[in-house]
Amino acid sequence: MADTERRTAFKRQVACLLLFLYVWAIGSGTVRYSVPEEMESGSFVANIGKDLGLDLKGLFARRARIVTEDGSQYFQLNGNTGDLFIKEKVDREILCGQTDPCTVQFEIILDNPLQSYRIEVRVYDVNDHSPVFLESELRFKIPETTPQGSRFPLESAQDLDVGNNSLQNYSISTNAHFRVYTGEHSDGRKYAELVLDKALDRERQPEVSLLLTAVDGGSPPRSGTAQILVIVLDANDNLPVFSQTIYKARVLENSPKDYLVVTVSATDLDEGNYGEISYSFSQKSKENSKTFKINPMTGEIRLTGAIDFEMIETYELNIQATDGGGLSAHCKVLVVVLDVNDNAPEVIVTSFISPILEDSLAETVVALFIVRDRDCGDNGRTVCSIEDDVPFSLKTTFKNSYSLVIESTLDREKVSTYDITITVQDLGSPSLSTEKTITVKISDINDNSPEFNQTSYTLYVRENNGPGIKIGNIDAFDSDSEQNAKVTYSLLPAEVGGLPLLSYISINSENGNVYALRSMDYEQIREFQVTVRAADGGSPPLSSEVVVRVVIIDENDNAPFILYPLQNSSSPANDLVPRSAEAGYLVTKVVAVDGDSGQNSWLSYHLLKATDPGLFTVASQNGEIRTTRLITDRDTMKQKLIVLVRDSGELPLSSSATLNIALVDGFSDLYMQFTDVVEGDEKDDTLTTCLVISLCLISFLFLISIIIFSIIKLLRRRKYGGTSMSASGIVDGDGNFQNNLTRNGTLSHNYRYEVCLTSGSGTSEFKFLRPVISCLPAQHSNSGTDLVKEQDLVINSHLNNEMESASQLKGGKSLEEYFETGRIPF
């Protein structure tokens, strides 16, 4: 029946506590609840989501979870409903012992964004323990002469419950001599004393048996009992007396074993066996028995085990002094444990995010952690810090709770990983500290464009290259990582020489290798520019551009082209040399050009074959053909020269020119009839006639133009008062040449020439050119020196006209234009 009533009362008590379950307060960021102990697993405590004002739908998405300092899990949270349940049965006595109030603290952690809430649950005591005496029988030896009112301390009962459920009262069975007095220690614990109300008489009753009952304040109350046996002693009329009623001692918590705490002392006025005193503990507790010992002869109290301020701060010892006659006296010893800074601070990380994006905003929470120090006072006060050279800072969220937040801008390209050392130091002396290192990795965003290793590129390719040949490499680097650092190369659209750029070159999108798609021709395109774009693989992608200059390197692939004498003319070139010419006389000049450039276009002239090799020489630099000696009568009138023109390429190319030279006694009509020095028998009269007519027409038109130009110049000079100038024909002594013109040549030296035509000739054939000088009679122009000078002018004039004719055959452009562009259309 008693057990049934206790269970019924326990259920009523639990129901009552559940009805009075409440949230104490929401202040300083802490939510408080209260529950009774011994509730079954799965019992509902509260709805955290509603009490915190959180969106219940977002609790599961934000990974709501419970984090405790010591890792214990007395409660569980339903992430879908926000309900807080008991995970395992809570025994307040195991959890907190005699500490009241008994609280369980933990944090609710939410992600996205990272938040924490401090929860404190107070566990109320339930009367689930009965008072228990350590000894089932208590023996007392009391002299029969003990006066009324004497008190004898009784062994205290132990009740693990606290508050009203703890030990409240003592009682004894009905008797004629004793009653029990219930007192209270300074810490609130109850103790019992046996009070003598009526004097003892050993002769009448040598022993008194009593039943001591300890009752707690629960509803219904629980109780425990012990037997008291009082042995009445013969008279011993002096009691031991302590020197102090209360002894006080202060002991450091790190004091060694067998350390002397204090010495108690008592005296007895009796003699003999009645005056001998022995010391012992009375009302021993389990903690006192394990920690202290007393010398029964000397009264020295020493340590038998370690004491820990963090566990028990004060010990209260009851000492009994008993003489040989069984009389005893009692005193108290208060042992105060002094704190020593023997506990280093602890860092407990409750939540941590890594990696984090490098563009995370300032004040973003990276980690949450708790700092705990089990010491007290300055020894338990802590200071938390991190190094200064990191873009992070600490912020206090609750007491001894901190958050690690971003303080300044992050840049993964400069620092990709931070090893942050959290240093916690207490204020004790000497100070103790703890370091906790957490590694924060920075994840990449696409915030860097590819960078080329050069501001511009110049690539070289030889002409006549094979298609698909690699001509260079373009390299760009992106300081981002992974996909954001993957560089892709491409060519921007453009045209070169009227063709799309992509028909000339291509670029490998992966490695930046540049390839030629077609054979290059230096004579068509000497260089061109292209823009290469390097784009990364980010989203959106970033890109950079660079200008690439492609230079074509010339190859010696063009043979020299002979401008004079023309080799494709139907009539071979004929030159006249007077037999009176001195050594060094300029006969003619071979003019050639090369479509290549540089060394490949440097030309040299060589006499390959000649009728008389010793008569003529060719200047290797300019192609001038001169006589090497005086002409004799033995020299053949018809001279044939083959001149080789060769470039200076690595593999030289060459062309040859054939010249026919006639050695004549003078420039008379007889010799002017000589038109073919070598192949006179094969002369084509019709072709020669056409050429002569063409030259005459050209000369006539040119002469008319000069005359008109001269007249206009004269009219202008007369109009503005200038010096008058007349243009007149130059007529020789015989009256054969009636018209003349003046023009500037286009070779290396400038000359003035006159086109001389015969007026009386039956064929009106073009004979030769001579310099514009007065046509003197024949007897005035027989000097050898004058003849050489005259012939030089004639040859150069002839060369100019031939080259002009050649240029007209090549598209109507002047020779100066070809020399300026450096290219001759072949």
Segment 356-372, tens digit of pLDDT: 888 888 888 999 999 98
Does residue 672 contact residue 764 with C-beta atoms inside 8 Å? no
Q: Which pair of structure tokens corresponds to residue 783? A: 């000097």
Contact call for residues 796 and 624 (beta carbons, < 8 A): no
Q: How confident is the model at residue 336 (pLDDT cuts 50, 70, 90)?
A: very high
Contact 451, 477 (CB under 8 A): yes
Angle at 714 between CA 709 and CA 716, to 5 degrees: 95
Of the two residues 121 and 298, the one the predictor is more confident about is 298
Is pLDDT at 304 greater than 70 in this prediction?
A: yes
Which pTM does this prediction carry?
A: 0.49
Please state, in angstroms and rounded to a whole number, the distance separating the CA atoms of residues 456 and 472. 13
Tell me the pLDDT of the chain averaged across its residues.
78
> What is the spatial distance between Cα 326 and Cα 137, in angstroms, rounded to a whole number?
18
What does the block give as tokens for 478? Answer: 């992106």
Structural Rg of the chain based on CA atoms: 64
Give the containing element (helix H, strand E) for 475.
none
What average pLDDT does range 64-68 have in this prediction? 82
pLDDT at 485 over 60: yes
Q: pLDDT tens across 499-543, in order?
A: 677 788 889 999 999 999 888 888 888 888 899 999 988 888 989
Rounded CA separation 16/350 (Å): 35
**How many Cβ atoms from other residues are within 10 Å of residue 632's Cβ?**
9
Determine phi and psi for 272, rounding to 5 degrees: 70, -145
646-665 tens-digit pLDDT? 988 888 888 888 888 888 88
Highest mean pLDDT of the ranges 66-70, 208-212, 689-693: 208-212
| Alpha carbons 31 and 107: distance in angstroms, whole number | 10
Helix (H) or strand (E) holding 203: none
- Of 17 and 406, the structure prediction assigns the larger pLDDT to 406
For tokens 């208060």, name the residue. 334
Pair type for strands 768-771 and 753-756: antiparallel
Give the separation between CA 517 and CA 467, rounded to whole angstroms: 5
Grade residue 812 by pLDDT with cuts at 50, 70 and 90: very low
Of the pLDDT bands very low, low, confident and very high (cuts 50, 70, 90), residue 570 is low
Q: What is the mean pLDDT of residues 97-113?
A: 81
pLDDT at 762: 35
Mean pLDDT, residues 597-605: 86
